[in-house]
Chains A and B, each alone.
Chain A
Amino acid sequence: MPFLAVTVVAVAAFLPLVVTSSYILSVGVTMFLYLVAAMSLNVIYGLLGLLSLAHIAFWGIGGYFTVIAVMDLGLSFWVALPLAGLFAGVVSIAVGFPALRLNRHSFVVVTLIFALLTTLVARDWVSLTRGPMGIPGIPSPYFFGHEIAGAYSFYYLAGAFALVSLLLLYLFFTSRIADTMRAINQSEDLARSQGVNPTAYKLLAFFLSAFFTAMAGGILAFNQRVIDPLIFDFFFMQAFLIMVIVGGRGSFVGVLVAGAVMSILPEVLRFSVDLRMVLYGLALLAFVTWAPNGLAGWIRERREERLRSELRQ
């Protein structure tokens, strides 16, 4: 497994030296950012079972925050990006605290309302966001005097960001913190009876998922060189959610594989956006109806069945 991971990273790192098509590299950029966002959603929804529709809001907030911090406040991109993550994290706590007070159903409703509200703010708070027309002419970030512009350098920027983020998230998914989250998801009463404070874990999960999603959104904005309220398009939310469900909620590897395949395959097959979304939607329906635990869950269930029959003999 580590060997496979190193090979994949190495291939990804040398790809731009072989492939010169900026189209392929830009597909790579999108994939890197989607992977981080989907894995972030996997923290709150996968580990804790809390369906957050607010991810699209954090994604957009991250984009707008980074752009405004760089263009209006004159901050460096490298400072603005983590600040955007922190800002979204703080917002997530402010939203999460009341949203978690009721039950997991109201959490869905409150996060949805929050997502709709941020769209409205982006469109209507014209003095801050310049309204529906968006903010054009986003400058390129500089890395030690080297301008990051175009698919080639953004491939490395997004790739490095995804590598670091996913490594940190991998450490998180394999830590005891994640185990406690899985425990809370399976039986909150039992976890409480054993001394776990579920609210603290839920807020941590929400914070982390907002933090990484917002930074991915920030890079997306600089890659597009323009940001407008379309960054809040529900399409992104649906794409992240489908990657998590197809891969298997709570599974790191499952979501990684599903995210990569679902980012690349439609491009390879040259599907139009509508047709791609129809297929995404059908995949969502099929998995939710017949394999709610995704690919990873399906494999796990097969393995458990085998184990059960072995142990019963």
Chain B
Amino acid sequence: MDYIYFLQLTANGLVIGLIYALIAVGLALLFGVLGIVNFAHGELLLIGAYAMAIALPAFGLAYIPGVIVAVLTAIIAGWFIYEVFLSKLGHGEFERSILITMGLSIVILNGIQYIFTATPLLVNTEFGYAGVSIGDIRVAWTRIAAAVLSAVTFAALYVLLNYTQIGRAMRAVSQNRDAALMVGMQPRKIGRNAVILAASLCGLAGAAVAPVQLVQPYLGQFLVFKAFAIIIIGGMGSIEGAVFAAIALGVIESWIGGFFPVVWQEAAGFIIMITVLMLKPSGLFSRGGMRVG
């Protein structure tokens, strides 16, 4: 019985870890390509989650159309934010980028709270609360859908970053900005692509998380602080590091939550992060340390 409980925890942890990864990868991408820390990242996710919550009833609870609407909404928001604010930032205007994204975060979060109130929304899908049982392990369909969605996204992301012109350009800028600019890459176009990609990942994460957790205005902030910890553990700007750290953290949190007081579940991420910072100030996976600065 004990090992089944353990497997159950692991399965839940994997799902949460994959969602963390969707968020953290976007943060790492923006840090790498634009050199900014995006405080409005959680609010992009929030936009995705609320879009999902509104779209689902409109489509008769159909899951996939809801996800598409959520992703598109987040992309439009990200694009707007890039064109109006982020594109005006010079590379290395680190503090200004924090202030601007913090401003955006305040406006979006409180705007949503003003419109939808702080009352949590319960999001129902075509799957309802049904689940699937493998032996004694039971996983809800909404969780499986979230995991499959994330896994497919990561496969697509891998192909995009490694085998397409757009993705290679982003990686090039993130690894060696000066060299990339020297060979004539256009930072504005690449920056826009990175923001759109990160926003779509946020929208997807929002859509995935909406049926799994209650949708309320502080959902994004809660998740994004975790994502900060994750990209620090994974090495600022490292995408592989962020994915690995996110999944590991999801599973570890789930285990801790299953066996210890819930207090330690939340503290886990921070304790790991601080340990990593002390042992290796540039993060576990980083190649060249913090690239801003």
Would you call A278 and B114 a contact (CB within 8 A)?
yes
Cα A285 to Cα B99 with chains together (Å):
8
Interchain residue pairs A-B with the least CB separation, the first 9: A281-B106, A281-B107, A284-B103, A277-B110, A274-B114, A285-B103, A124-B263, A274-B110, A103-B293
Number of interface residues of B (CB under 8 A): 35
Cα A14 to Cα B107 with chains together (Å):
37
- Least Cβ–Cβ distance between A245 and chain B, in angstroms: 7
B65 within 8 A of A: no
Cα A274 to Cα B267 with chains together (Å):
29
Would you call B114 and A113 a contact (CB within 8 A)?
no
Would you call B110 and A113 a contact (CB within 8 A)?
no
In the complex, which residues 87-107 of chain B have their Cβ closer than 8 Å to any Cβ of chain A? 88, 94-96, 98-100, 102-107
Cα A126 to Cα B262 with chains together (Å):
13
Chain A residues near B267: list those with CB within 8 A: 120, 124
- Least Cβ–Cβ distance between B209 and chain A, in angstroms: 20
> A residues bordering B, Cβ < 8 Å?
49, 51, 102-106, 108-109, 112-113, 116-117, 120, 123-124, 126, 234, 238, 241, 245, 272-275, 277-278, 280-282, 284-285, 288-289, 292
> B residues bordering A, Cβ < 8 Å?
37, 85, 88, 94-96, 98-100, 102-107, 109-111, 113-114, 221, 225, 228, 232, 263, 266-267, 270, 273-274, 277, 281, 290, 292-293
Would you call A277 and B88 a contact (CB within 8 A)?
no
Would you call B274 and A275 a contact (CB within 8 A)?
no
Would you call A272 and B103 a contact (CB within 8 A)?
no
Would you call A105 and B292 a contact (CB within 8 A)?
yes
Cα A238 to Cα B40 with chains together (Å):
13
Give 12 new A-B contacts, CB below 8 A, not counting A108-B37, A120-B270, A241-B99: A104-B94, A105-B94, A105-B290, A113-B228, A120-B266, A238-B102, A275-B110, A277-B106, A277-B109, A278-B107, A278-B111, A285-B104
Would you call A282 and B98 a contact (CB within 8 A)?
no
Asked if A108 meets B95 with Cβ closer than 8 Å, knowing A113-B270, A282-B107, the reply is yes
Would you call B102 and A284 a contact (CB within 8 A)?
yes
Chain B residues near A288: list those with CB within 8 A: 96, 99-100, 103
The contact of A280 among B99, B106, B266, B274, by CB within 8 Å, is B106
Asked if A285 meets B94 with Cβ closer than 8 Å, knowing A106-B290, A120-B270, A278-B107, the reply is no
Cα A285 to Cα B292 with chains together (Å):
22
Give A115's nearest chain B residue, CB to CB: B225
Chain B residues near A234: list those with CB within 8 A: 221
Q: List 16 A-B contacts (CB under 8 A).
A: A51-B98, A102-B293, A104-B94, A108-B98, A234-B221, A238-B106, A273-B110, A275-B110, A277-B107, A278-B107, A278-B110, A280-B106, A281-B103, A281-B106, A282-B107, A288-B100
